[in-house]
Amino acid sequence: MDIWIAGALIVTLFVVLGSGLWIGLSLLGVAIIAMELFTQRPVGDAMSLTIWGTTSSWTLTALPLFLWMGEILFRSKLSDGLFKGLAPWLNHLPGRVLHVNVVGSAIFAVVSGSSAATCATIGKIALPELKKRGYPDNMAIGTLAGASTLGLLIPPSIIMIVYGVAANVSIAKLFVAGVIPGIVLACLFSGYIVIWSLLNKDKIPAPDAPTSFAQKLYASRHLIPVVSLIALVLGSIYSGIATATEAAALGVGGSLLLSLIERTLTWASFKSGLQAACRVYCMIGLILAGAAFLTLAMGFIGLPRHLAEYVGSLALSPFMLMVLLVGFFIVLGCFLDGISMVVLTMSVLLPTVEAAGFDLIWFGIFIVIVVEMAQITPPVGFNLFVLQGLTKRQLSYLGWVAFPFFMVMVLMVLLTYFVPDVVLWLPRNMR
Amino acid sequence: QANWDLPTGYASNTFQTENVQQFADDVAKATGGKLKITVHSGASLYKMPEIKRAVQTGQTQAGEFILSGLSNENPLFGIDSIPFLATSYDQAQKLYTAAKPATEKLLADQGMKLLFSVPWPGQSLYSVKPITTMDDFKGTKMRAYNPATTKIAQLAKAQPVTIQLAELGQALATGAAENFLTSSASGMDSKLYEQTKYFYIVNAWLPRNATVVNKKVFEALDKTTQDAVLAAAKAAEARGWAASRSKDAAYVKDLTKNGMTVAQPTEAVRAGLSKIGDTMIQDWLKSAGSEGKTIIDAYKKM
Amino acid sequence: MNKLVNNIYKMLMLGACLSMVSAFGIILLGIAAREFVWDIPGLDAYAGYAIAGTLFLALPSTLRQGDHIRVSMVLQKLSPRAQSILEYWCLGAGTVLSSYFAWYAIRMAWISYTFHDVSPAADASPLWIPQILMVLGSLGFVVAFADAFISHVLGRPFFQVQDGEAARTE
Ligand code: NA
Ligand code: NA
């Protein structure tokens, strides 16, 4: 029975999305149909209550503000400076400034707990520059799609907080556990860029003229504004002046200040940046609202719970369990966002996972990586949505160029399974 | 054959949720599966602040929430959270008995029926630095999350800082917060012992969760099922209070095991806090009016 | 008529921008308040309301600018006639869904008002007041979808989409 409901819902969602209906409204519509058909609950009231609760929550405030920060930086010379400062150093690495996507995402991930915000900010800065420099679109967009999911794995991370509360494991330890896998995954992404570039030498633009070490160092002065902005945001978090949520507001303030100093801030650029930020947030927010209601509908129908119960009833070996869970979350990730996936399934899955002998910290990192994968699989993948907003490309194209990075993450999951110390070494040796 | 959804904001491994789950299992057993209650833990259905309204408007049949969360709506809901009024399980039980008719009436006026109500362990003081006199509070950053905790911080001459529970660990680590009141249970659940060193058992108040059902839904059940639900609710309440008591003792031990210094507050601190309590009872009485006074008087006579 | 609805979109967008700036200001105020030992209760709740205001008030303008994303892959492969028919479905479904949403947004604010629902956080504000933002925005969304639908019937342009290529290279 459940499998038929699940199948019917997925098909309906695909059809409605394919018909060209706006994505947020598609999710809303499918949720309404699902709830009307499979529950006896008053649908409309449940919808408005849930959507209001989700969209007016304090934890969400960081996302729009980081989006705004990205728009301000995009209109300043800061992003240009980032490339000017980094390009000489990356000149000899195969793939050259494509690595800015990875490095930039990894650095921004230290500031932001969300992968959509990371994707939007770095994308706004890096994509136009990469285009201008003649890098192929598929790699420019794909690397960004993959690397920006690091926002979840490198602390701070919203999803780790959600998991930590659900699984009753230390959020501080989870954060620490994410550090090494985050760095390793960033290296794997860069590694993929290197291999791809060696195989496709003709597609990478020619290197700039070679520069001496002193020249490289001198070019790095362009990085000072970016570095000071990151230092401001990070410093405010780690000195206790601001919480991770509030740091976004300091980021906005800092970017405004910096563009004021370098005289790129005009009334017109302020206005257009603000309006663009409102529209991008509105686009993402409408989808978030639809996803929140679809999550509620799923909760009422009990679909994720029943599927998770089914997985638990199979009594699999740890390895097979892990493989099945990856598949399970990839399927769920097709139509739910990451946080909802965790909230809806953890109470049912955790006993199974514990019985199979998985360390709950390790499993938290596993979940985060799997959720990262879900961010870049169509039809519901928030990083793809952000990228569609940025590039106006089709979801199918975006899903396709992100696919190699999806596979890199599969590799990462296997790595953490066979070498669990990648995850567990740091938290074990904490204090 | 009826199915109820029962959302709760608390994770499935808290003793409150375990108790609610046991209640659901008992009901299923007693009614021979005629009434099946699905517990949705960890805010997986509705988030904490939405649950009461979801029950009230019939979006879900039943729900569990913390009563003092409604004190902005009516101060009587917050009677269990007046600081230093009832500071032990016995006192909390008396206060509950005194306030129960009023609470039930308030909920009934909003279309809900109280099934059972179980307290969290007492709200005690966690601190990064030792606190032996009231002066030790002066200028420290004390976490506040509602009007009452803000007022306590102000009266203790500390600086109230608003920080969400999810961000509390980080705030403590970075010095954005230095002390706060919460239960031994939350301290274990949120692993707050990682950032704080001192735990003073002040039991400022024992806030209660309430499990409620939509009145119309309840009345639609046949008499036998209604009785089965009420019997299970009565058992759940007794079991919950006992569990809260024994868990509190166990949690306090666990906090010690995790390296916290657990102590009773000094005489000076106790006196200072109870002075704060007197001020806050007066404030509460002002806002709750004669109905509140009747309850407090009845409680004091018990 | 056209001018009126355009002004509605503009006013709502202005409201969205003000909401975003307010959220920014409120959070900065919160940081400052913690540093300088004032107590301003309920700031985080206000920031949440402001951010909700940004989302809902920006809905019509975002639709008009073509920033709400959709899967247009199938649409683009069809003949112009089939495209036009499918567009009727999309705009029609959009009008219906946004009306459904607006209706229940109004109902929620109304219930909050009649139930005297107050925020459980330190702000203790009556919830119907911030919920008005959701009502206004969702009503504007309905107007925008109806406008788009009528424009499609009359063969008038509604969307002011920047060219995709331009957006990619801007
Ligand atoms: Na992060
Ligand atoms: Na996905």
Predicted confidence at residue C33, as pLDDT, reads 84
Q: What is the DSSP letter of B80?
A: G
Q: What's the pLDDT tens digit per position in C79-125?
A: 989 989 999 999 999 999 999 999 999 999 999 999 888 888 778 88
Say which amino acid occupies B258: N
**What's the whole-number average pLDDT of chain B?**
91
Return phi, psi of residue B157, to 5°: 60, 20
Predicted confidence at residue B271, as pLDDT, reads 92
For residue A278, give the nearest of C28, C58, C89 by CB distance.
C58
Asked if B9 and B53 count as a contact pair (C-beta separation under 8 A), the reply is no
Alpha helices in C70-127 (DSSP H): 73-77, 80-115
Contacts of A1 (CB under 8 A, 6+ apart): none
| Cβ–Cβ below 8 Å for B46 and A296 | yes
**Domain residue spans in chain C?**
2-154
| Cβ–Cβ below 8 Å for C58 and A282 | yes
A294 touches chain C (CB under 8 A): no
The low-confidence residues of chain B, meaning pLDDT below 50, are none
CA distance B118 to chain A (A): 21
Enumerate the residues of chain A whose CB falls inside 8 A of the CB of residue B169. Answer: 171-172
For residue A279, give the nearest of C67, C75, C131 by CB distance.
C67
Paired sense of beta strands B261-263 and B198-200, if any: parallel
| Cβ–Cβ below 8 Å for B13 and A168 | yes
For residue A53, give the nearest of B38, B50, B190 by CB distance.
B50
**Please, is A341 exposed, middle or buried when counting C-beta atoms within 10 Å of its C-beta (0-12, 13-18, 19+)?**
buried
**Domain residue spans in chain A?**
2-9+19-428
Asked if A307 and A330 count as a contact pair (C-beta separation under 8 A), the reply is no
Predicted confidence at residue A431, as pLDDT, reads 54
pLDDT at C167 over 50: no
Predicted confidence at residue A96, as pLDDT, reads 84
C131 → chain A, closest CA residue: A52
Strand partners, B160: B142
pTM equals 0.87
Asked if B113 and B215 count as a contact pair (C-beta separation under 8 A), the reply is yes
Contacts of A17 (CB under 8 A, 6+ apart): A23, A26, A379, C70, C71
Give yes or no for a cis peptide into A156 (omega within 30° of 0): yes
pLDDT, tens digit only, all 431 positions of chain A: 677 887 888 888 889 988 989 989 999 999 999 999 888 888 999 999 999 988 998 878 888 998 898 888 888 887 778 888 888 888 888 888 889 899 888 888 887 777 888 888 888 888 888 888 888 999 999 999 999 999 889 887 878 877 887 777 877 788 889 999 999 999 999 999 999 989 988 877 777 777 788 888 888 888 888 888 888 888 887 787 887 778 889 989 999 998 999 888 999 999 999 999 999 899 888 988 988 888 888 888 887 788 778 877 887 888 888 898 888 888 877 767 777 778 778 777 887 888 888 899 999 999 999 988 988 888 788 889 889 888 888 888 999 999 999 999 999 999 999 999 988 888 888 65
ipTM of the complex: 0.86
User: What pLDDT band is residue C29 in, cutting at 50, 70 and 90?
Assistant: very high
| Cβ–Cβ below 8 Å for C39 and B53 | no
Q: What's the pLDDT tens digit per position in B25-62?
A: 999 999 999 999 999 988 788 888 889 999 999 999 99
Which ligand is located closest to the Cα atom of residue A371?
2
CA distance C3 to chain A (A): 20
The residue written with tokens 């330190």 in the block is C122
Identify the chains in contact with C, defined as 3+ C-beta pairs within 8 A. Answer: A, B
User: What pLDDT band is residue C130 in, cutting at 50, 70 and 90?
Assistant: very high
CA distance B42 to chain A (A): 6
Residue C26 Cα to ligand 1 middle (Å)? 23
**A242 vs C169, residue with greater confidence:** A242
Q: In Å, how far from its chain's centre is CA A348?
A: 25
Predicted confidence at residue C13, as pLDDT, reads 96
Enumerate the residues of chain A whose CB falls inside 8 A of the CB of residue B57. Answer: 42, 45, 49
Cα–Cα distance, A158 to B85 (Å, whole number): 38
Sheet holding B159-162, edge to edge: B159-162, B141-144, B179-183, B123-127, B198-200, B261-263
CA distance B34 to chain C (A): 33
Q: What's the pLDDT tens digit per position in C41-66?
A: 788 889 999 999 999 999 999 999 98
Which ligand is located closest to the Cα atom of residue A378?
2
Predicted confidence at residue B98, as pLDDT, reads 95
Q: Choose the mutation target among B46, B67, B72, B152 for the interface with C, i.e. most C CBs under 10 Å.
A: B72
